[in-house]
A and B are shown apart, each in its own frame.
Chain A
Amino acid sequence: MKRFVIRRILGMILVLFAISIATFCIFNVIPNSDPAQRLAGRNPTKGQIEAIRRQWGFDKPVYVQYVKTMEKVFSGDLISYVSQIEVDKEILQDAPRTFSLAIGAAIMWMAFAVALGLYTAVRAGRFADRFLTALALIGISMPVFWIGALMSYYLGFKWNIFPNGGYVPLTEDPLQWAYHLIMPWTALSLLFIGVYSRILRSNVLDTINDDYVRTARAKGLSERQVLLRHVLRNSLIPIVTLWGLDFGAVVGGGALLTETVFDLQGVGQYAAESVAQLDVPPVLAIVMFGAFFVVVVNTVVDIVYATLDPRIRLT
């Protein structure tokens, strides 16, 4: 187990390194941008540009530039071309919103998917199963921006059931926090609920015919115990991996559409705006932030997976 964890962490560092190199290349391939000139802001003097060029090492070989840039990424000295605000400040301000959205939605979609997946599997072939299957397919095929806009118009604007946009920090008022996030959570979750419940349904249907489930019944366990302890637990193992991956992906940029539709001012939205303005430093920082997150979550998922299914520790 220890060996497994160490190997995973080493692998993680390697991946991050590779990503950082790829990201760094953005600086050099984006057209129409002498980075020094853009860093210097609007209407700079030649001297200012030169000073920045020296400070960032743009006159030095590429590997020096890479090291210097990474230094700045990690020390938080990156400055947006457009707003001239330090990028890390902006990210730190936006991150809680993105995390709130992602964590809440992840819990929501998992909970609903487990309930739906298990229910449809147990009722496989009956009306309830077919009805919910159709519903899941609808959920899968509805784009976030469309369902989000619809919710925001009816539930938020027209009927005034939920607040339209806005964010209240969790530390300030947990109830308001959740109240404000319910619509974004739902909009983001629908797709995942559809996908996850379908996967879980088929996993459960496979597992339920396994020999050890028959053994569990032969022991005299109640159907409920058989389902929860043996069928569900074993069917969830592969889904947990997926869950971690999707959660990482949502934080690392997948929440972009939802954030924009509900104007949450999260990291994703920040990234979208920066890309639109060819504002390279925030893009660089956000990509690193997202990559870091995806990779870390991945590693955590692998470790969790190994605890859930002891058989894979060996590999």
Chain B
Amino acid sequence: MSSAEPILRVSDLEVSFATDEGLVRAVDGVTFELAAGEVLAVVGESGCGKSVTAMTLLGLTRSANARFAGAAYYGDTELLGASDAELQQIRGAEIAMVFQDSASSLNPVQRVGRQIAEQIQAHEKVTDAQARERAIELLERVGIPNARKRVDAYPFEMSGGMRQRVMIALALSCDPSVLIADEPTTALDVTIQAQILERFRELVAQMGASVILVTHDLGVVTDIADRIAVMYAGRIVEQGALDEIFYDPQHPYTWGLLGSIPRLDRPRPKRLPTIPGLPPSLADRPQGCHLRPRCPHEFDQCAKTPPLVARVPGATAHLDRCWLSCDRKRELREIEPGVIGLRGKHEVELTKGGAGS
């Protein structure tokens, strides 16, 4: 899948923000490529830098206190250094974004059709009437019943599910080559989530767009992703094909993530496996491997930052940042038959777990 020329290349991306509490390193050396037509899921918990990475690609994190380093190429355009005018050409037309919270991400006092038409008109010379027709067509495509009427609705007149469909219609309106979806279904009810994810997958496949799906939900990922990048504290700690991550995870953090999802299709465990402790503050992170203080398998070498390289024999596209040998990892990661999790010398100690620094 990733054999052709990648459509997006990000290398050593660093984003930091100057704050009162010091320099917050939100993204710390992120490197990945996105192939044409591919769905890459960027997975991690809040504060891991996944959303900042996504928004930085579109220049949406630019501000007086933000510092950037590294490079992000879309075709021949370098996005980090692109001028405002260049970015405007790309935003919405080449790279479009679906935001998480449709209630706040749509302008509350503008009709939804108008909001879609506005994006079309920002990139193409079309009349108001033509843009409106396109908006109606898009609303129909994302599955909004009675689109000709709903085009004039305000966001608050729609349900959360319908609004999220509007967000998707908005993102698709100029036929972008890359779609960045930031937790597109997180705020929705499960049945609605399933509807929208299905429609999203169909539409993306039809259009042949590449997708960066930012999410904390490994369940959603299995439905849609080709490849996964797991992020922790500003870094990608593991990256590989969907099945590689799920069936041969290399990084202890990935084990912890996989283990802590409640499984409906398995017998109920006595206790839910957890990752002990808390993620570090982004302004003050541990030396070396960022997971070190929480990792039961930590040893001397972890004081040095492990590079993101292929460590699994025969799997060149499966990268991770853990010093342990592949065999040792396979030995350590099983917590019970068929369930991968994080288990180590000190079993998850709850009473002290949350009190950490």
Chain A positions within 8 Å of B, measured between CB atoms, are 125, 210-212, 214-223, 225, 229-230, 233-234, 237, 308-311
In the complex, A212→B105 CA distance in Å? 4
Alpha-carbon gap, A219 to B60, bound state (A): 11
Residues of B153-184 at the interface with A, using a CB-CB cut-off of 8 Å, are 154, 156, 170, 174
In the assembled complex, how far is the CB of residue A24 from the closest CB belonging to chain B, in whole angstroms? Answer: 43
B107 touches A219 (CB 8 A): no
| A-B CB contact pairs (8 Å), 27 listed | A212-B104, A212-B105, A214-B60, A214-B105, A215-B105, A215-B106, A215-B170, A217-B60, A218-B92, A218-B99, A219-B91, A219-B122, A220-B88, A220-B89, A220-B90, A220-B91, A220-B92, A220-B119, A220-B122, A220-B174, A222-B122, A229-B118, A230-B110, A237-B109, A308-B109, A310-B154, A311-B109
Distance A125 CA – B65 CA, assembled complex (angstroms): 12
A233 to B58, CA, bound (A): 24
Q: Does B107 lie within 8 Å of A217, measured CB to CB? A: no
**Considering only CB atoms, which chain B residue lies closest to A222 in the complex?**
B88
Query: Interface digits, B35-70 against A, CB 8 Å rule (1 contact, 0 not)?
Result: 000000000000000000001001010001000000
What is the minimal beta-carbon distance from A206 to any residue of chain B, in angstroms?
13
How big is the B interface, by class?
20 to 34
Closest residue on chain B to residue A221 by CB atoms: B122
With beta carbons under 8 angstroms apart, the residue of B58, B88, B101, B109 that contacts A310 is B109
Smallest Cβ-Cβ distance to A210: which chain B residue: B104
11 additional contacts, CB 8 Å, given A210-B104, A220-B88? A215-B107, A217-B91, A218-B91, A219-B92, A219-B119, A220-B91, A223-B84, A230-B110, A237-B109, A310-B154, A311-B108
A residues near B118, Cβ cutoff 8 Å: 219, 221, 229
Does B123 reach chain A (CB closer than 8 Å)? yes
Contact A212 B60 (CB under 8 A): no
B109 A211 Cβ-Cβ under 8 A: no
Interface residues of B in 87-115 (CB under 8 A from A): 88-93, 96-97, 99, 101, 104-110
Q: Is the CB of A214 within 8 A of B99?
A: yes
A234-B109 in contact given A211-B99, A218-B60, A311-B156 (Cβ < 8 Å): yes
Beta-carbon nearest neighbor of A213 in chain B? B107
Question: In the bound complex, how far is the Cα of B59 from the Cα of A223, in angstroms?
Answer: 12
A interface majority secondary structure:
helix
Give Cα distance in the complex from A211 to B108, angstroms: 11
Q: How far is the CB of A32 from chain B (nearest CB, A)?
A: 56
Nearest-CB residue, chain B, relative to A229: B118
The interface bits of chain B over 118-152 (1 if a CB of A lies within 8 angstroms of the residue's CB, else 0) are 11001100000000000000000000000000000
* Chain A residues near B92 (CB-CB < 8 A): 218-220
Known A218-B96, A219-B92; judge A234-B122 contact (CB<8 A): no
- B110 / chain A contacts, CB cutoff of 8 Å: 230
B64, B109, B154, B174: residue with the most chain A Cβ atoms closer than 10 Å? B109
Q: How far is the CB of B87 from chain A (nearest CB, A)?
A: 8
- B88, A221: Cβ atoms closer than 8 Å: yes
Choose from B99, B104, B106, B154 the contact partner of A311 (Cβ within 8 Å).
Answer: B154
Q: Given A211-B101, A211-B104, A225-B122: A220 and B93 within 8 A (CB)? A: yes
A230–B109 Cα distance when bound, in Å, is: 9
Measured between beta carbons, the chain B residues less than 8 angstroms from A125 are 64
Question: Cα distance A229–B84 when bound, in Å?
Answer: 18
Q: Is the CB of A230 within 8 A of B107?
A: yes
Nearest-CB distance from A91 to chain B (Å)? 39
- Judge whether A234 and B97 touch: CB under 8 Å: no
Find chain A residues with CB under 8 A from B101 CB.
211
Report the Cα distance A291→B249, complex, angstroms. Answer: 75
Of B58, B92, B170, which is in contact with the most chain A CB atoms at under 10 Å from its CB? B92
In the assembled complex, which residues on chain A have CB atoms less than 8 Å from the CB atom of B84? 222-223
- Give the Cβ gap from B110 to chain A, nearest Cβ, in Å: 8
List the A residue with the shortest CB-CB distance to B106.
A212
Q: How far is the CA of A309 from the CA of B108 in the complex (A)?
A: 8
Q: When the two chains form their complex, are residues B109 and A233 in contact, meaning their CB atoms are under 8 A apart?
A: yes
Contact B154 A212 (CB under 8 A): no
The interface residues of chain A lying within 8 Å CB-to-CB of B60 are 214, 217-218
Q: How far is the CA of A211 from the CA of B100 in the complex (A)?
A: 10
How far, in angstroms, from A214 to B60 measured CA to CA in the complex?
7
A212 with B107: in contact, given A217-B60, A217-B91, A220-B88 (CB under 8 Å)?
yes
